[in-house]
Chain A
Amino acid sequence: MTWMEFMQVDFPALATAILAALICGVLGNFLVLRRQSLMGDAISHAVLPGIVVGFIVAGSRSTLPMMGGAVGAAVLAGVLIELVRRFGQIEPGAAMGVVFTVMFALGVVLLEQAAAHSVDLDADCVLYGQLEDILWFEASGWWSLFDREALSGLPRELTTLAVLALVTFALLGLFYKEIKITTFDAGLASALGIPAQAFHYGLILFVSLAAIASFEAVGSILVIAMLICPAATARLITDRYGAQLMLSGLFGVGSAVFGYVAAGFVPGWFGADWALSSSGMMAVVSGVFFGIALVAGPRYGVLATRVFRAAPVPRPETI
């Protein structure tokens, strides 16, 4: 494999996957800590009709209309879940299930209509993503990273995610303390004058944006995996908030890299001329990480708590 091949084929796919995993992995912490993990699942299903409508309106797979449609659908899903919960007096889980399944069904029906008129959009691309199709033809080697002309040809999935990553991490850094307090004790946050509700909706908005930006590149399944698995893995290893954020980011990136290698290169080592789905493999790797932490985690793993009877020292959550 030459540098040129790597930069044209593997680099853009890998960088896209790493960015998606990093953003989702870190944002997922707040969902997991707030016990709203399935919000990610709900959103990534519910945006489907918005994406398809955006595609139909624009007539092509350009980013802005599809993003717009998806954001609209995510907001609609949030509002509908709240309405169904309030007017129907239904438990939140079931309300979520009702809204996202119906919206996904609508998306599937619309998708089928759209696919009948064009070959550009189909169920596969939405469910599994098309990581393998993200190519950077302008690259001729690693030096292209510093070549303005080549950089302008970067695939738009990658640039979208890069911008989103910058904004997300800038906001996380800026509101580090506020987000921490609202996550662990919304009541205390309100008493301190921090608008906990606004932070909650802000979080949901950014999860939607991350889901939507990652969707096209890596598929909905990897988004859900990355929103939950790295954060849950970190939760089994540490009690400290800062470490939790760092570790989840690390596990996200690790899943992306190992998954990509396992899907793309490992079959080749055994002499096969095919590759496996890389986004599926990344989800599997994140599950393997979680499984290892679940069994062998130093403090909260099953081995530590059950087999060796070293009862976990009761320790208050450190904020």
Chain B
Amino acid sequence: MDGALSVALEVLTFRAGYNASVVTLGATCLGVAAGVVGTFTFLRRRALISDAMSHATLPGVVLAFLLGIAFGLEQRNLPLLLAGAAVTGGLGVFLVQLITRSSRITEDAAIGIVLSVFYGLGVVLLTYVQSLSVGGQAGLESFILGQTAAMRRDEAIALAILALAAIVSTVLLFKEFRLVCFDAEFARGLGWPVFRIDLLMAGLSVFVTVIGLQTVGLILIVALLILPPVAARFWSDDLRTIVILSGCIGGASAWIGAALSAAFADLPTGGIIVLVAGVLFVVSLLLAPRRGAVANGWRRMSLAFRLRRDRALAELLAAEREAGPITIGQQARLWLILSGYLRNGRLTPLGRQRAMAADRNFRLWEEVLRSDRAMVPPEAAFGIDPVERLLSTEQLRSLERGLLRPAGPEHAS
């Protein structure tokens, strides 16, 4: 175990020999490219089309292999195999669009059809290849689940260069992609060639899928296109930041995953890379500030707490005024005493001040609901946030005018 760990550490720091370092570097570049390109397909709500596309590469790989044999090329001509994968992968995306546009079949069904039929065809062709008496068939299966062990040095370098090319193209097309992702109709109205931009986006996804076949394999490459952007989305609302973060998460997953699989012989590269990405996703889901589950839960709890405290204060105030019975619960009473708002069953001066503010805020909120609830920004906590801070003085004044009517004389003062 210790030996394996030190190997992992060596690979992580690119000291484990030239070959392992190059393969890890190639995988890392692929991860970054997948994270960057995947961000746009995710935001365009096309995440699962990548699934159809990646499964559709299998028949292309096998057909290219058969073509290579027919022309007497060497057994494992990688560029040819990947070109075949790109052709059928692209065809898969095209068919999903075609089926959705030209018939009543919905997109989810079209994705499922293309995915299963193309993959089935690939499996049939694989069994045909296995019946032939030529070498190199075993290499084909490694495209399904990915295996970096079989990767050659020059292939890894080519992979890194191609991944960098994908990243650079995305950066160059950033403005176009951003517009289409956020408002395709608006872009079309402005005269942008939305269809062609979509096509470019799909083309880049196919490209990333194809160069990822060797490392991650065709079933799991879709994970590298989905997980990093979804994880990055938790940390920011700014597209530029999301793209950069997503690239970092994808790159880190591939880097750590490739190192681990180099160190432990029976860890499949694709699977372990996706698991690392999954861990990063879970961390983001839980711990991201603002959008993360922990922060969300904390915010919800503190809002509920504030609401209960303000209600209790307002009720105490009303009970004092009308000399009615005090109806707040034991817990709320204890908390109010601890915060110094309540002493000997009566509101302290500070407590009275808070209670007046809370009571006024409740009334203002009622007034907001009565006049126009669209005047407060949608992200405000309804009924809890102080209305004064959400509205302009102008709006507040008109609300207060409404408040004067039903309210008693002590509010007018």
Contact = CB atoms under 8 A, between A and B. Distances in A.
Contact of B112 (A128, A227, A284): A227
A280 B122 contact: yes
Interface in A32-72: 32, 35-38, 40-41, 45
A276 interface: yes
B220 interface: yes
Interface in B226-281: 226-227, 230, 233-234, 266-268, 270-275, 277-278, 281
Interface string B81-124: 00000000000000000010011111011111101110111111
Contact of A280 (B121, B268, B293): B121
B182 interface: no
Interface in B145-192: 145
Interface of B: 42, 45, 47-48, 51, 99, 102-106, 108-113, 115-117, 119-124, 126-128, 131, 144-145, 219-220, 222-223, 226-227, 230, 233-234, 266-268, 270-275, 277-278, 281, 285, 291, 293, 296
Interface in A83-101: 84, 87-91, 93-94, 96-98, 101
B120 A287 contact: yes
Given A236-B105, A279-B123, A38 B112 contact: yes
Interface in A212-234: 221-222, 224-225, 227-229, 231-232
Contacts of A81: none
Contact of B274 (A41, A105, A222): A105
A87 B293 contact: yes
A114 B102 CA distance: 46
B287 to A, nearest CB: 12
B127 A97 contact: no
Given A107-B271, A225-B117, 17 more contacts: A84-B285, A90-B230, A94-B230, A98-B281, A104-B274, A108-B271, A109-B267, A222-B120, A228-B116, A272-B131, A274-B128, A283-B117, A283-B119, A283-B121, A283-B123, A284-B124, A294-B105
A91 B122 contact: no
Contact of A38 (B108, B219, B223, B233): B108
A227 B113 CA distance: 9
A35 B293 CA distance: 28
Contacts of B226: 94, 97-98, 101
A282 B117 CA distance: 9
A84 B123 CA distance: 33
Given A101-B227, A224-B115, A225-B117, A35 B106 contact: yes
Nearest to A293: B103
B278 A105 contact: yes
A102 B105 contact: no
B378 to A, nearest CB: 14
A319 interface: no
Interface in A253-286: 263, 272, 274-277, 279-284, 286
Contacts of A97: 47-48, 51, 222-223, 226
Contacts of A235: 104-105, 109
Contacts of A294: 99, 102-103, 105
A112 interface: yes
B275 A105 contact: yes
Interface of A: 32, 35-38, 40-41, 45, 84, 87-91, 93-94, 96-98, 101-102, 104-109, 112-113, 116, 123, 127-128, 221-222, 224-225, 227-229, 231-232, 235-236, 263, 272, 274-277, 279-284, 286-287, 290, 294, 300-302, 305-306
B38 to A, nearest CB: 10
7 contacts: A37-B112, A41-B51, A90-B230, A102-B277, A109-B271, A281-B124, A294-B102
Contacts of B266: 112-113, 116
Nearest to A105: B274
Contact of A101 (B45, B220, B233): B220
B102 A279 contact: no
A93 B48 contact: yes
Contacts of A276: 124, 127-128
Contacts of A105: 220, 223, 270-275, 278
Contacts of A35: 106, 108-109
B103 to A, nearest CB: 6
Contacts of A281: 120, 124
A222 B271 CA distance: 22
A221 B45 contact: no
Given A89-B291, A94-B226, A294-B99, A108 B270 contact: yes
A221 B120 CA distance: 7
A231 to B, nearest CB: 8
A300 B99 CA distance: 12
A106 B275 contact: yes
Given A101-B227, A232-B105, A93 B47 contact: yes
A30 to B, nearest CB: 12
A104 B103 CA distance: 32
B248 to A, nearest CB: 18
A37 B105 CA distance: 11
Nearest to A40: B112
Contacts of B104: 235-236, 300
A211 B302 CA distance: 44
A205 B102 CA distance: 33
A228 B96 CA distance: 14
Contact of B223 (A37, A102, A300): A102
